[in-house]
Amino acid sequence: MTQIITQDQGEQVAFESLDVELHNIFKFFHQEPAVHGIDLAVKTGEFFSILGPSGCGKTTTLRLIAGFESADAGKVIIQGRAMTNVPAYKRPVNTVFQSYALFNHLNVWHNIAFGLKMQKISRKDLEIRVQAALELVRMEGLRSRFPHQLSGGQQQRVALARALVNRPAVVLLDEPLGALDLKLRKEMQMELSNLHKELGLTFIMVTHDQEEALSLSDRIAVMNRGKIEQVDTPSKIYNHPQTVFVADFIGDTNLFPGEVVERDNQGVKIITKTGLSLVVARQKNTPHELLEKVVASIRPENIQLSIYRPSVQHNCFEGRLVNVMYLGTHINYVVELKKGIKINVLQPNTFGSLPDAETPIYAWWSEADALVLPSREE
């Protein structure tokens, strides 16, 4: 395992092991790059997610780690060993697929034992390890059932047990909960998180579900068109996106393309394409030298509404409600501003009466709650 040294505020030096490294990886299909020069470093014991829309290259990246695809350029390194020419079955990883890929003619016990039988371990050790895997996923009472006799959640547990029983260094999860309904998916998210903490293994999950990645991951890599846009913790990905794509893809946001007309050490003034004047406070990650064309981003939950004009100097606009959507714990409002632009506003449900559509209203937000990002046009 490769070790990296991290310096903590110039005082402490800590050592971290890396289980998976990707160095300048390229993969082409029909001369088109599916993965375009990506670099990744996944720490030992980390729950790492690769998140992005369909076709962004995330599943191809997972298949490159697993050995189901070979890179056209670059290196895949697992536990310090280059995986060039190492076939999938010899790599210290196991994959859990969205389809589960269980053997329909084998019962639960034999599905889990299949990989161990290929290793020709002793019958005694096989029994012990399969039983431990069954207990780990709480399936010991269903060991004799066949896949068609199991629910989707139970099949997912069997697939996890089959991957874990081989004691891999790295567990690869390819959209592992995508086939489950919402309630069961929430339950399995908690089980995955508990399993990861209990086992201490490295998990790498591919998903297009933003909430899933945010709730489960230690760190997330956001992919777009074969490239990695940002790698960071869930909170930093959400609160401090580095690109317009990340801000727009992770959660909901309101985007205001425009040009910088004033700037100083405290903030930036932007005139949007629709003529709105916005002020954004400088954050730690705000580039010191901003390009002229930028995009301001403001999350719906950071916008306030009032039927009376508030006493704020900046970022306050008159408009009207055009839609009110009841979401249970929250209410989503669509507000059309005087300049014709529509924004989404998310506020907690206070269980009072909801305002009617067409109600005149003011929308405003703090300068510190908005972000300024480089424009995609640059």
> Which of 268, 316, 323 is closest to 296 using CA atoms?
268
High-pLDDT (> 70) share of the chain, %: 93
DSSP 236: H
Q: Say yes or no: do domains 2-92+168-244 and 252-374 share a fold.
A: no
Give the DSSP H or E segment for 110: helix 108-118
Rounded (5°) CA angle 207-208-210: 100
Q: Kindly report, residue by residue over 334-360, the tens digit of the pLDDT.
A: 999 987 899 999 999 887 777 777 788
For the record, the structure tokens of 38 come out as: 């990506």
Nearest partner of 147 among 174, 186, 107, judged by Cα:
107
Q: Quick one: pLDDT band at residue 140, thresholds 50, 70, 90?
A: confident
Q: Is 122 helix (H, G, I), strand (E, B) or coil?
A: coil
| Domain 252-374 superfamily per CATH | Nucleic acid-binding proteins (2.40.50.140)
Rounded CA-CA distance 44/300 in Å is 36
pLDDT for 151-167, tens place per residue? 888 888 888 888 888 88
DSSP 44-100: TT-EEEEE--TTSSHHHHHHHHHTSS--SEEEEEETTEE-TT--GGGSSEEEE-TT-
Sorting pLDDT into bands at 50, 70 and 90, what band is 102?
A: confident
Q: Say how many Å lie between the first and final Cα of the chain, rounded.
A: 40
Question: Mean per-residue pLDDT for 100-104?
Answer: 83
Quick check: 221 pLDDT over 90?
yes
Looking at the chain, the whole-number percentage of residues with pLDDT higher than 90 is 49
Q: For 375, phi and psi rounded to 5 degrees?
A: -70, 150
What is the band of 224 on the pLDDT scale with cuts at 50, 70, 90? very high
Q: Residue 321 in contact with residue 343, Cβ under 8 Å?
A: no
d(CA 282, CA 112): 54
Q: What is the pLDDT of residue 188?
A: 80
For residue 312, which amino acid is it? V
* Euclidean distance between CA atoms 74 and 22, whole angstroms: 7
pLDDT in tens, 264-282: 878 889 999 889 999 999 7
User: CA-CA distance, 117 to 115, in Å (whole number)?
Assistant: 5
pLDDT above 80: residue 69: yes
Residue 290: what pLDDT? 60
Residue 6 confidence (pLDDT): 45
Taking each helix axis from N to C end, the angle separating 108-118 and 123-136, rounded to the nearest 10 degrees, works out to: 130
Among 185-189, 284-288, 334-338, which stretch is predicted with the lowest mean pLDDT? Answer: 284-288
- pLDDT, one tens digit per residue, over 74-88 is 999 999 999 999 999
Q: What is the CATH number of domain 2-92+168-244?
A: 3.40.50.300
| pLDDT of res. 11 | 40
Q: Is pLDDT at 286 greater than 70 in this prediction? A: no
Contact in structure between 368 and 315 (CB atoms under 8 Å): no
Average pLDDT, the chain: 87
User: CB within 8 A of 263, min separation 6: which ones?
Assistant: 269, 290
10/317: higher pLDDT: 317
Other C-beta atoms lying within 10 Å of the C-beta of residue 295? 23
Q: Which of 2-16, 46-60, 103-117, 319-333 has the lowest mean pLDDT?
A: 2-16
Q: CA-CA distance, 301 to 347, in Å (whole number)?
A: 6
Looking at per-residue pLDDT, the higher value among 115 and 378 belongs to 115
Domain ranges of the chain: 2-92+168-244, 252-374
How many other CB atoms are there within 10 angstroms of residue 38's CB atom? 22
Distance CA 234, CA 256 (A): 24
Are the C-beta atoms of residues 290 and 275 closer than 8 Å to each other?
no
Lowest mean pLDDT among 10-14, 48-52, 139-143, 338-342: 10-14
